[in-house]
Amino acid sequence: MNLGAPALLRLGENEKADRWMKTSLDRAPGEPIVLYNAACYYAMAGDREKAVDCLEKCYLRAGTINPDWLKNDSDLDNIRGLERFIRLLPEESRKRQCEEVPAIN
């Protein structure tokens, strides 16, 4: 369900997509991959704070997030300039991120 929610969102089935994502989070609230996919979903849906919340929880559960995913996953484009997002990047990536994307407070 956590992979289907973004697809439903892209198809314009927003209410169904939201139900699917909420169900996924209810079933596996601490599962890092569900949290990462939820971050992608909420970023795409325009709920930037909730997206970063999910990424932070994913980081706390897993201890890390693949920096290539954070840098290249287009689902996260909407939140890449947020300071909270930038703090999740490894140190060497933070400098490049700050140079490439203007910060959004």
In a domain, residue 75? The reply is yes
In a domain, residue 105? The reply is no
Q: Does the pLDDT of residue 104 top 70, yes or no?
A: no
The pLDDT value recorded for residue 32 is 95
Count of domains in the chain? 1
**Separation between Cα atoms, residue 10 and residue 50, nearest integer Å:** 18
In a domain, residue 51? The reply is yes
The pLDDT value recorded for residue 34 is 96
Which residue range is the domain that position 19 belongs to? Answer: 4-100
Res. 91 pLDDT band, cuts 50 70 90: confident
CATH number at residue 70: 1.25.40
The pLDDT value recorded for residue 19 is 97
